């Protein structure tokens, strides 16, 4: 792999990391309908530094690599990224598409998550996949799918009404708000595809206009 050059992937395949890899600004460009696995030979997980992962329509990447401490994993493109690793000292930025967390450890998948547009969705697999004190919805928002899990927020950091907290799982989710002071959340709280989301607000919470 040549540093700071994009790698284009089509069809189906597997890339296995045998050591830590630094691609610099180079990214993985996964073409339409392709399905790739980024495997990890080291059971303690090697890290991969790269400019980002772009998944085209219908493309899917299953990602077993860690993200290096204090670095960010960037995801763009309308396809899907499934992350099985835990990088508790790194961050995730979602610009587009669907990201699924399937980390089976007791640690968070990432210490912080940023939604950088209104087109990205993050689906968690368990309650402690994310630290709700470090989830940030930027301009345009994004969707956090609780996926049948329960979450507690001290504050929901959202810039506009494009921020969505939802549950698409048939198992109900409870969203608890434990704010210590008054603030206005501009986003949306809803359930999709038959899911049920139970909102448990603190006494001083000002509810959003769009709840469904």
If you average pLDDT over every residue of the chain, what do you get? 90
DSSP code for 180: S
Token pair in block for residue 153: 């927020």
Answer whether 171's CB lies under 8 Å from 194's CB.
no
DSSP string, 50-101: -S-EEE-TT-EEEE-PBPPTT-EEEEESSSEEEE---EEEEEEEEEEEEEEE
Q: What is the pLDDT of residue 210?
A: 45
DSSP state of 24: T
Task: Return d(Cα 59, Cα 55) in angstroms, integer.
Answer: 5
Characterize 12-23 residue by residue with b for buried, 16 or more Cβ atoms within 10 angstroms of its Cβ, and e for exposed. Answer: eeebebeeebeb
pLDDT at residue 1, as a whole number: 61
DSSP 210: E
Per DSSP, which regions of 77-205 are E strands?
A: 80-83, 87-101, 110-123, 135-137, 142-145, 151-153, 157-158, 163-167, 173-177, 188-191, 197-200
Q: Tell me the torsion sign for CA atoms 103, 127, 191, 211.
A: negative
Q: How far is CA 67 from CA 49, 59, 73, 82, 127, in A?
A: 7, 21, 7, 14, 21
Domains of the chain: 7-211 (2.160.20.20)
The CA-CA-CA angle for residues 74, 185, 174, to 5°, reads 80
Point out the residues of the chain with pLDDT beneath 50.
208-212
pLDDT of amino acid 202: 67
| CB distance 108 to 130 below 8 Å | yes
């Amino acid at each position: 792999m040549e540093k700071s050059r994009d790698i284009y992937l089509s069809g189906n395949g597997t890339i296995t990391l045998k050591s830590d890899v630094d691609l610099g600004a180079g990214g993985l460009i996964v073409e339409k309908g392709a399905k790739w696995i980024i495997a990890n030979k080291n059971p303690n997980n090697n890290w991969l530094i790269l400019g980002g992962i772009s998944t085209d329509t219908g493309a899917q990447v299953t990602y077993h690599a860690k993200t290096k401490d204090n670095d960010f994993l960037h995801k763009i493109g309308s396809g899907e990224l499934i992350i099985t690793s835990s990088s508790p000292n790194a961050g995730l930025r979602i610009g587009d598409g669907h990201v699924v967390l399937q980390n089976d450890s007791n640690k968070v998948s990432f210490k912080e998550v940023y939604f950088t547009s209104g087109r990205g969705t993050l689906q968690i697999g368990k309650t402690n996949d994310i630290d709700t004190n470090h989830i940030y919805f930027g301009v345009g928002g994004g969707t956090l799918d609780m996926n049948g899990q329960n979450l507690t927020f001290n504050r929901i950091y959202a810039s506009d009404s494009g921020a969505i907290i939802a549950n698409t799982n048939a198992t109900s989710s409870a969203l608890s708000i434990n704010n210590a002071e008054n603030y206005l959340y501009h986003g949306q709280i809803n359930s999709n595809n038959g899911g049920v989301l139970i909102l448990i607000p603190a006494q001083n919470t000002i509810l959003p206009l769009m709840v469904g």
